[in-house]
Amino acid sequence: MPPIDRRVRRTQTALAQALIALSLEKGYATVSIRDITARAGIGYATFFRHYPDKESLLTAVLELFVGELTGLLETASANNPAASGELIFRYVGEHHELCRVLLGSRSGGDLVRQLYSAGLRPLLAEQPQQPGSVAPPELIAHHSVSATVALIEWWFENGMALSPTHMGEIYASLIIRPLQQLGYNP
């Protein structure tokens, strides 16, 4: 276990914050590594001592975020989808700036795939395909993650006008309960 230099931690958090701030200002795609290091007060070449490219920095941020979210969801009751949904929307609402950046940063499929592999997979019960069911379980998982992300996107685009509680109810109605009716228990 390397005891991690204090300077290293300082550098990495400065880079992450600079990336988020600049992405909110100008859009992720147009932020250059020079911008990031300048904003962070870090030497340009130093960036590459920590991350091979801009994507990697963002991925590191994403993993931190997803880690926190899944930790939160594990504590939630699996029997009350509306409550789980409220939890999700309350959490992403509190971090909506970071979420906006993550949503806008990569092609849709990539984000969902990363979300899935970065921490959501174990949350989804691995159940064998039901004899009479229409869809394979991996598709159910993909659908529930994608549709949830799409709900969050819509919420942001509309100024988060609805309350997290309301969004949680919608989440349950449009995504979870239909799956439960089909015999899945995501």
Residues that bind its own copies (CB under 8 A): 103-109, 111-112, 134-135, 138-140, 142-143, 146-147, 149-151, 153-154, 157-158, 166, 169-170, 173-174, 177-179, 181-182
Give the residue with the Cβ less far from DNA, 7 or 77.
7
Can you tell me which of 45, 132, 158, 159 binds DNA, judged by CB under 7 A? Answer: 45
Other C-beta atoms within 10 Å of 184: how many? 21
Q: Which helix (H) or strand (E) holds 111?
A: helix 108-115
Closest separation in Å from C-beta 1 to its own copies: 26
Phi-psi region at 116: left, alpha or beta (left = phi > 0; alpha = psi -120 to 50): alpha
Q: Are 145 and 115 in contact, with CB atoms under 8 Å apart?
A: yes
CB 97, CB 65: distance < 8 Å: no
Residue indicated by tokens 């904003």? 39
Rounded Cα–Cα distance for residues 108 and 95 (Å): 19
Closer residue to its own copies, CB minimum distance, 69 or 82: 82
Nearer to its own copies by C-beta: 69 or 175?
175
Q: Is the Cβ of residue 37 or residue 105 nearer to its own copies in the bound state? A: 105
- Contact partner at residue 173 from its own copies, DNA, none, CB < 5 to 8 Å by partner kind: its own copies
